[in-house]
A and B are shown apart, each in its own frame.
Chain A
Amino acid sequence: MKKLRELSHQIFGDGYSKWIFLLPSLILLAFFALPLVALMYRSIAPDFLVNALSRQAFQALKLSLITSSITTLVAVILGTPLAYLLARWKFKHKAWLELILDLPIVLPPSVAGLALLIAFGRRGMFGSLLSELGIGIPFTTAAVIMAQVFVAAPLFVRSARIGFSHVDKQLEESAYVEGATQWQLFYEVMIPIAIRALASGAILTWTRALGEFGATILFAGNLEGVTQTMPIAIYIGFERNLGVAMALSVVLILVSVILLTITKQLDKEEE
């Protein structure tokens, strides 16, 4: 045992010890980077622009941008009050509420899609009521947005909540002393302080919504221009025209890189 320690000391000691950290890190980083590099490399072909600008690609990009933007808007409008409530209020069974919010983040999207179908499908628990009113959700753009909100909105709530809970308690109290109403406190004190957390949460939600696939294909199906978002066009295109699928993938990677860079910048300013 002692000998082993000596041996390991000889190998990893002094100038070598850093490799204990460097080597595994390099392996993992290479594993993340190589597939993306390979995809970019192989998509560079004369017909890249033709594929990236094809009608199907354009339709899918347009639908993806519209639906993910609406999803982000819904997440902000409904999620901000919820995050505020979770950060500032104390009440019974709060832990259960938090569990409901965390579940969509960890659940496989296919489970989310199936659950949405069972709830809001034409024969679903609530869907059957809606269909009596003449409202059908599956196979519509609304279904795409619902699937995205289900999997992506919790990310915004989570980030916004952390933002709100970092606001100094004393600041809140002094605002009350000054005679501020709940709304004034929220709008004039909390929002300005938490704005970066809100923004980075919104971008996270947007990125996640842009990449949503599993719940969408189960709940909304696949129809060009109506429910065929970019990830679905990539999946379907993979079987018909690899070029279109790769071009779309590269576009998605670029969009994601841009959005993540903005989030990074926001986080940096926060510090």
Chain B
Amino acid sequence: MKRLLSLTLVLSIFLTACGASATPTSAPATQAPTRTLTVFAAASLTDAFTEVGAAFDAANPGVTTTFNFAGSQALRTQIEEGAPVDVFASASGKEMETLVTGTFVVPDAVQVFLTNKLVIILPADNPAALEKLEDLSNPGVKIVFAAEEVPVGNYARQALDLMNASFGTDFKDKVLANVVSNEDNVKQVLAKVQLGEADAGIVYTSDVIAAPDLKTIEIPADLNVIARYPIAPLTKSENADLAAKFIEYVLSAEGQAILAKWGFAPAK
């Protein structure tokens, strides 16, 4: 009993000391209150959304937009585990639907804000001498994909399914046998090809804008997969007004112009 008492005593002194020291620091808040908007966005949006965020902050004094860019599947998991987020912009509808089911986002508020498609990238000197799409199945080509659970990795495998019809039913298996690494997000795929460690990778056409030194092989429309990016505010957002404003800005002519500059196509 005596022990318990002393523990309570020490604890209460400790806590009051903390409280006392905390008060004066929070007092002189005379400047205009700054607010922070937290946006979780697909890795492929890194360059485009950084610019969108800067423009949004400039148009809204006192607002600072911070981003967490990663594979949409990683962001979805973080949101499920309780990350404090205001807006989620995903590279696939699948991750968004999971969050809708879990009531993390408002179902009616989900909007597709852009589309993207796939392209094959090669290092500038093309070490495996790849000329056309079919060459991806050549034995010994070192291919880097995003993992299957990453949106772009999933889209790439869907595209391979479509290519099976044109290049033979074992095309997908042959290409997948050439995969030397399944990266965690699209920017990692880009980096590995840029470094020349891999002979080829599949990324979004928008990713190539920021990496003009890479060679590309186009994927024809009938073999390509269109990625639709949804955006939505989070149910638990404490900045619902700002979140709505940010999404509105992304969908505005101004926002869409920035996205177009970075190689994304409009939603419609």
Contacts and interface: CB of A to CB of B under 8 A. Distances in A.
Contacts of A222: 147, 181-184
Interface of B is mostly: mixed
A19 B181 contact: no
A221 B192 contact: yes
A138 B192 CA distance: 10
Contacts of B181: 139, 220-223, 227
B77 A16 contact: no
A235 B188 CA distance: 15
A123 interface: yes
Contacts of B57: none
Interface string A134-151: 001011000000000000
A121 interface: yes
A11 interface: yes
A117 B195 contact: yes
Interface string B169-206: 00000000001111110000000100111100000000
A82 interface: no
A11 B10 contact: yes
A223 B197 contact: no
A249 B181 CA distance: 22
A155 interface: no
A234 interface: no
B98 to A, nearest CB: 11
B71 to A, nearest CB: 7
Interface in A199-252: 217, 220-224, 226-227, 235-236, 238-240, 242
B74 interface: yes
Q: Which of B6, B10, B13, B192 has the most CB of A within 10 A?
A: B6
B73 A122 contact: no
A144 to B, nearest CB: 12
B10 to A, nearest CB: 5
Interface in B91-149: 127, 142, 144, 147, 149
B100 to A, nearest CB: 18
B11 A11 contact: no
Interface in A57-86: none
Given A123-B195, A238-B77, A223 B10 contact: no
B2 interface: yes
B6 A139 contact: no
B7 interface: yes
B211 interface: no
B6 A117 contact: no
B58 interface: no
A120 to B, nearest CB: 10
A15 interface: yes
Nearest to A27: B14
A213 to B, nearest CB: 12
Contacts of B196: 121-123
B11 A223 contact: no
B267 interface: no
Interface string A107-118: 000000000010
B9 interface: yes
A23 interface: yes
A123 B180 CA distance: 17
B10 A236 contact: no
Interface of B: 2, 6-7, 9-11, 13-14, 71, 73-74, 76-77, 127, 142, 144, 147, 149, 179-184, 192, 195-198
Given A23-B10, A221-B180, 17 more contacts: A11-B9, A117-B197, A121-B195, A122-B195, A123-B196, A138-B180, A220-B181, A221-B181, A221-B183, A221-B192, A222-B147, A222-B182, A222-B184, A223-B181, A236-B182, A239-B76, A240-B149
27 contacts: A11-B10, A11-B13, A15-B6, A16-B9, A16-B10, A19-B10, A117-B195, A121-B195, A121-B196, A121-B197, A123-B196, A123-B197, A136-B142, A138-B180, A139-B181, A139-B198, A221-B144, A221-B181, A221-B183, A222-B181, A223-B180, A223-B182, A226-B180, A227-B181, A235-B184, A236-B149, A242-B77
Closest 5 CB pairs of A and B: A221-B181, A139-B180, A123-B196, A239-B73, A240-B149
